[in-house]
Structure 1
Amino acid sequence: MMVSQSGARRYDPDIARLTSEVVDLIWNELPGYSADKLQKPDLIRSVERYVRLTINVLRRGETPTFGELAIESDLGSRRAKQNVPLESVILAFRVTERVLLLDVLSDRHRWPLKLTRHYADLVIDTFDRLSQHTVNSYRETYSVLESLHERAQSDLMDALISGIALHPAQLSTWAQMLSVEPGRPYLAVAIATEGEKDPLKALRLRTRFTLALQPSAVGPVLFGGTSAAQVGLFSPAGPVARVIENLKSTIAGLHWDGRLIVGVGTVGEDLASAGSSCLEALSAADVGMRQERRQAVVTYEAVLVDSLLLDRAKTADALMATRLRRLEDHPHLLETLQALVDNDFSQSKTARSLFVHINTVAHRLKKIQTLTGYDPLRLNDLLELALAIRYRNLTRGDAAGADH
């Protein structure tokens, strides 16, 4: 619709005043429009550009051209890179639109009603077009950034878990892309479940634990993993004991149908050394699964002996073979040895747990000594037998799998 331009030229507002009014309504008022995301002069320049564009549109009485919109659409890309929420970007447009509309309507007595309506329509149409171009630009850029973020997260976690030495320049690039501080301490957790690995359930589980860990973290919670478990990595904001309590509460609130073990590593001094914490968390989760716990948080420090046995599998296999091989054909002797270990090496408690006479226990222990050459009543021999049977319990599932 064309309207006489003579009236349109009468609209000559104070650009600085309008810009300042809009900025005051946006800065530190809308999420993302603050010093932690962007500089205030950046916002001022953007608002002034849109105010000037709108005034030019009103003066000529026509909607903005595609060229004008294309030039201005780079704002969406910038705001996506600055991680300003899209909802705030859209609200910022609406705030600017409202301020200009109110300013136009405040001078409505200066021109005919038809022209006032035309001005209002032009303002609304201009900001509808601007916001649409900006939203499209924002989404395109955000999609690319999200893809790059996921790739950087995956690459970093894969490198840490695999033990690859990280080059400082590459580590710095990843840290910048992921908004993490490489000099802070880092803690890893490994989430292991049993059975089929449903990708959707795995994603939901990751999301729930991310939300649970975030209040205890400085910066983002990163995720990677192996075929056995998902691995989360973050910089703890407080004591590890608080993290463990959060994890326990999360497991309790999940109502998870099946086994769920969360392994917790020890705190590494910085991001470059966080791979050790990742491996420790995976080891703790593995031990928890092997111990047939149903749902639990398992710390690496609590299962150091088990982890050591599994890490030195060749030596542990030899230990189990030389100490227990001769007992494999005597399951009641293995049962008695296990009960002795479970009952703090007390023969009387062992007898009660097995529902046998204490003399029967003594006779069986003597038989174990005869067959193996190791005396369960001598501390050093008993410790070796206990370690052997502990490793046997840890690898029982491995042996069953090998049989199949």
Structure 2
Amino acid sequence: MTSEQLVALLLESAEELTAEVLRQVWGTPGYDEEHMRPEDLAGKVNPNLRWVIRCLATTGPPAEPAMASAREIGHSRALQGVPVDALTHAWAAAERVVLDRLLGYADAVPVPVPLSELRRTVRRLGAVVGELTRCSVAAYRHAQQEVTAHYDQLTTDLVARLSGEQPADPETIRRRAQLVGSDPIAPHTAVAVGLPAIDEPAAYLRTQRHLLAVMAATSHGRILVGRLDEHPLILVPTPDGPDRLTSLLTGFIQDRHRPDPVVLGVSEHAAPLHAVAPACREAQLAMQVGMRLGWTDRVVRFGTVAPEALLVRNPDLADLLTDRLHELWDRPELVETIRVYLRHGMSARATARALYLHPNTVQYRLKTLRRILGRPLSDAIGLADVILALRGTDLQAAGNPDRVAGGGTGQSPGS
């Protein structure tokens, strides 16, 4: 019996062979009612099985129609969400079913199949199924990448809409969130990512991947990733509020295997997606404050830098406050003294010790400061504008270092 005769016999049994493949495959993960109907599976298995059989009588790569059919099934399975392992399992099942029938023919037909011909056909079967499986998996991967890119773009667009200044329509947000598998009602905390030492897309992608790996392990839902003013913005479902996430991010910061120095701004509040815009701005401002103050490897909660965030968001106010202290900027020793004085609880004695100065020198400087400022230096509330002005100079340091006098350190004047 020739290989052509074997192929003819197998093709006559194609429906029976299809039924056996379906019996072995249906009910395994991915091949179930959740992903497809049984008749849909049969409609794919039968033509692919026929192509496998036809290719047994040929040599070389499988025919292009067979490859096209394999690509189509790989593409379909990716779109249906069938695991790639289930796809390869189905091809292996088809190979087993055809092989079993081939071996059965060796003794069942009136004219036994020569052993050499049987060996050749069995080897050909393995080669054909292997090539078609690789073709299907490649198409599966390609479709998966396309789907991922599409969903990534949907997610990016959603985050852009959520973080915008205009109020988000809850119904629109609900529909878009469901498209990407996110729960629109769940409270979300915003995390803004800044890299002080390097500003390259590749570095942000590295950090983003590491962050997502850490957060995904304890996430209560789909994490949304987008951008706000060129910096990554991540929205994390946090049903218990931001505190646990902050602890998780602190552990990430302390990991010595982390790729790049980073500043993470974290919102003070969590909110449903349609109301998450204020949280996005909080995270962004917290990150910007940390970056401007020269911090690195730090998690910055918005609540800890709210005054500084006010100045970042209102640069005209920062300019107004710093301009009111214009007489101090040419006296760096006075700026240094008032900084240290505020940092040490407005104690002249502690200020003298910190600056390694004679107490009389500090008293003279404080007297000069009282004259310039036109107020006593014993009331912290009365010095609120001075504290904010000093903080404003710290925030302006990166853009205009000459404005920062008297040894600005990036620390809070009162800390």
TM over 0.5: yes
Deviations 1:151-195 (A, max 9, x none): 223322333333244445653453244221222211111111124
TM-score for both structures, normalised by structure 1: 0.82
Q: Which residue type is aligned with residue 398 of structure 1?
A: G
Does the 8 Å CA contact 1:11/1:59 hold for their aligned counterparts?
Answer: no
Say if 1:103 and 1:317 are closer, same or farther in 2 by CA, change over 3 A.
same
Does the 8 Å CA contact 2:337/2:351 hold for their aligned counterparts?
Answer: yes
**Unaligned runs of at least 5 residues, structure 2:** 405-415
1:80 to 60, 78, 81: 78
**How far off its partner does 1:384 sit?**
2.8
**2:408 aligned partner:** none
**1:373 aligned partner:** 374
Structure 2 CA distance for aligned equivalents of residues 376 and 341 of structure 1: 9
2:23 to 17, 20, 23: 20
For the aligned residue pairs, the C-alpha RMSD in angstroms reads: 3.5
The secondary structure found in structure 1 opposite 2:184 is: coil
Structure 2 CA distance for aligned equivalents of residues 103 and 238 of structure 1: 59
Say if 1:149 and 1:60 are closer, same or farther in 2 by CA, change over 3 A.
closer
Counterparts of 1:206-217 in structure 2, within 5 Å, are: 206-217=208-219
**How far off its partner does 1:80 sit?**
1.7
Does the 8 Å CA contact 1:320/1:391 hold for their aligned counterparts?
Answer: yes
Counterparts of 1:199-238 in structure 2, within 5 Å, are: 199-226=201-228, 229-236=231-238, 238=240
Structure 2 CA distance for aligned equivalents of residues 340 and 252 of structure 1: 33
Say if 1:103 and 1:253 are closer, same or farther in 2 by CA, change over 3 A.
farther
Counterparts of 1:31-46 in structure 2, within 5 Å, are: 33=30, 39=34, 42=37, 45-46=40-41
**2:400 aligned partner:** 399
Q: How many residues align?
A: 394
The secondary structure found in structure 1 opposite 2:294 is: coil
Does the 8 Å CA contact 1:58/1:122 hold for their aligned counterparts?
Answer: no
**How far off its partner does 1:333 sit?**
1.3
**How far off its partner does 1:319 sit?**
2.2
**How far off its partner does 1:297 sit?**
0.7
**How far off its partner does 1:373 sit?**
0.8
Structure 1 CA distance for aligned equivalents of residues 6 and 122 of structure 2: 15
**1:110 aligned partner:** 108
The secondary structure found in structure 2 opposite 1:294 is: coil
Say if 1:401 and 1:55 are closer, same or farther in 2 by CA, change over 3 A.
farther
Say if 1:152 and 1:302 are closer, same or farther in 2 by CA, change over 3 A.
same
2:271 to 265, 269, 272: 269
TM-score for both structures, normalised by structure 2: 0.80
Does the 8 Å CA contact 1:216/1:236 hold for their aligned counterparts?
Answer: no
**2:262 aligned partner:** 260
Counterparts of 1:2-401 in structure 2, within 5 Å, are: 2-3=4-5, 8=10, 13=16, 16-24=19-27, 27-28=28-29, 33=30, 39=34, 42=37, 45-46=40-41, 49-50=44-45, 54=49, 70=68, 73-102=71-100, 104-105=102-103, 108-111=106-109, 112-114=112-114, 116-117=118-119, 120=122, 123-124=125-126, 127-128=129-130, 130-167=132-169, 170-172=172-174, 174-226=176-228, 229-236=231-238, 238-255=240-257, 259-322=261-324, 324-400=325-401
Q: Which residue type is aligned with residue 361 of structure 2?
A: T
Q: Which residue type is aligned with residue 81 of structure 1?
A: L
Does the 8 Å CA contact 2:207/2:260 hold for their aligned counterparts?
Answer: no
Q: Which residue type is aligned with residue 184 of structure 2?
A: P
**Unaligned runs of at least 5 residues, structure 1:** none
Structure 2 CA distance for aligned equivalents of residues 103 and 277 of structure 1: 64
Deviations 1:62-96 (A, max 9, x none): 57976576567543233222333434422332234
Deviations 1:303-343 (A, max 9, x none): 11211222232223222222x22212221111111001211
Structure 2 CA distance for aligned equivalents of residues 9 and 98 of structure 1: 16
Does the 8 Å CA contact 1:216/1:238 hold for their aligned counterparts?
Answer: no
The secondary structure found in structure 1 opposite 2:278 is: helix
Higher helix proportion: 1
Structure 2 CA distance for aligned equivalents of residues 129 and 290 of structure 1: 57
The secondary structure found in structure 2 opposite 1:398 is: coil
Q: Which residue type is aligned with residue 340 of structure 2?
A: A
Does the 8 Å CA contact 2:195/2:204 hold for their aligned counterparts?
Answer: no
Deviations 1:195-228 (A, max 9, x none): 4422222211111111111123233333222456
Structure 1 CA distance for aligned equivalents of residues 258 and 41 of structure 2: 49
**How far off its partner does 1:284 sit?**
0.7
Say if 1:14 and 1:202 are closer, same or farther in 2 by CA, change over 3 A.
closer
Q: What is the identity percentage for the equivalent residue pairs of Structure 1 and Structure 2?
A: 23
Q: Which residue type is aligned with residue 250 of structure 2?
A: K
